[in-house]
Amino acid sequence: MTARRRAAVLGSPIAHSLSPVLHRAAYAALGLGEWTYDRYEIDEAALPAFVERLDESWAGLSLTMPLKRAVIPLLDEISDTARSVEAVNTVLVGPDGRLTGDNTDIPGLVAALRERGVDKVASAAVLGAGATASSALAALAGICAGEVTAYVRSAERAAEMRRWGERLGVAVRTADWSRAAEAFEAPLVVATTPAGAADALATAVPDRPGTLFDVLYEPWPTPLAAAWAARGGTVLGGLDLLVHQAVLQVERMTGVSPAPLAAMRAAGEAALAAR
C-alpha cells in the first residue's frame, strides 16, 4: 500500500482554487488512495511558519498569489526555470527535508500550446505586464522566432517588460494599451490581464484571427475568447494552463509519469460547470 503522503495549494485568496479538484482526480486515476491534497488560506506573513511545520509526510506544495516570490528565501534551492522569472509555483519536499522550488507555469504554457499544434510562431503579442506576463515571455523564448510586443498601461510597466525580455533573451517591444487592438495582427496573442480588462477589445477581433491564449478560466469564456472563437480562431483558456501545469506538479510530487491529463481536465471542466 502507498504510504500516506500530503500535498496542498497555498495562497490568499484560495477558496476559488481548482488545484484540489485536479490533483485529487489524478490521485484517483493513478490509484494513489493514500495521497491527500488540501487548500490553505496562507498569506505572506503566515508562510514561514507553515513551511517550518512541513514534515516527512509532505510531498509538495502548489503556490498561488501572493506567495510565488515570497517563498524563495525559505527554500534550499530553486530550479533554473523558477529563477529565470523569480517565481516559484511548486515546492518539492525531499526525503531529507530539503525544499526545492520549481515553476511549472512556464512549461505548462508551452505544453498547452503544443497540444493545439502551436510549437513555433514568427511573432507574438502579450496583453498585460504582471507576473503571468513574465512567465508568458519565458515560454515564448522557446517558441517565438521573432519579436514579442507587450501592450501595457504605463511607462513603468513597459520598462519592466523590456527588462524581462533582456533577462530571458526575448526581443520585446512595448506599446501603449490604447493600441492593444494591434496585438491581434500577431499569429499568437497571450492575454494575461485581470477579468474584464480586455473585454472592450472583443469588438476588434479580425475576421481571420490566429491563436489566443487567454489565461483566465473564470468567468469563461471571456468576451474576447468568445469573439475569437466565433471568428474561427484557435482559443486556449486558463483551464488549459492550469491543467498542464498541474500535470507536471503531479508527476514531480508523486514520481509517477505520465499524469492522467484527460481525467484531470474532465474534473476541472465539471467543477467549473457546477459553479
Across 1-5, 72-76, 236-240, least confident range:
1-5
2 has pLDDT over 70? no
Query: Which set of grid coordinates corresponds to residue 1?
Result: 500500500
Report how far residue 186's alpha carbon sits from residue 22's, in angstroms, rounded to the nearest whole number.
32
**What pLDDT does residue 1 have?**
39
Q: Compare 157 and 3 and report the one with higher pLDDT.
A: 157
Domain match, 210 and 141 both: yes
In the numeric block, the cell 484540489 is attached to 20
Domain match, 149 and 186 both: yes
CATH of the domain at 162: 3.40.50.720
**Residue-wise pLDDT tens digits, 36-54:** 999 999 999 999 999 999 9
Backbone φ and ψ for 43, nearest 5 degrees, come out as -100, -175
| Long-range contact pairs involving 165-174 (C-beta distance under 8 Å, separation at least 24) | 165/137, 167/84, 168/84, 168/85, 168/134, 168/137, 168/138, 168/141, 169/141, 170/137, 170/140, 170/141, 170/144, 171/146, 171/147, 172/137, 172/147, 172/148, 173/147, 173/148, 173/149, 174/149, 174/150
Domain match, 173 and 252 both: no
CATH of the domain at 78: 3.40.50.10860
β-partners of residue 7 are: 37, 60
Local confidence band at 131 (pLDDT 50, 70, 90 cut-offs): confident
In the numeric block, the cell 479538484 is attached to 21
Q: What Å distances lie between residue 177 and 92, 143, 156, 158, 180, CA to CA?
A: 38, 24, 13, 10, 5
The active-site residue out of 24, 68, 252, 265 is: 68
Domain match, 231 and 112 both: yes
**Residue-wise pLDDT tens digits, 9-34:** 999 999 999 999 999 999 999 999 99
Domain match, 135 and 185 both: yes
Domain match, 96 and 129 both: no
Q: Percent of the chain, pLDDT > 90?
A: 96
Q: What is the mean pLDDT of the chain?
A: 96
Is 68 annotated as catalytic?
Answer: yes
Q: How many domains does the chain have?
A: 2
Stretch 152-166: mean pLDDT: 96
Whether the CB-CB separation of 68 and 89 falls below 8 Å is answered with: yes
3 has pLDDT over 90? no
Domain match, 88 and 74 both: yes
Stretch 205-230: mean pLDDT: 96
271 has pLDDT over 50? yes
123 has pLDDT over 70? yes
Domain match, 115 and 16 both: no
Domain that holds residue 39: 5-103+245-273
Domain match, 230 and 113 both: yes
Domain match, 134 and 196 both: yes
Q: For residue 53, how many C-alpha atoms fall within 13 Å in the half-sphere facing its CB?
A: 6
**What pLDDT does residue 106 have?**
97
| Global confidence as pTM | 0.94
**Residue-wise pLDDT tens digits, 160-200:** 999 999 999 999 999 999 999 999 999 999 999 999 999 99
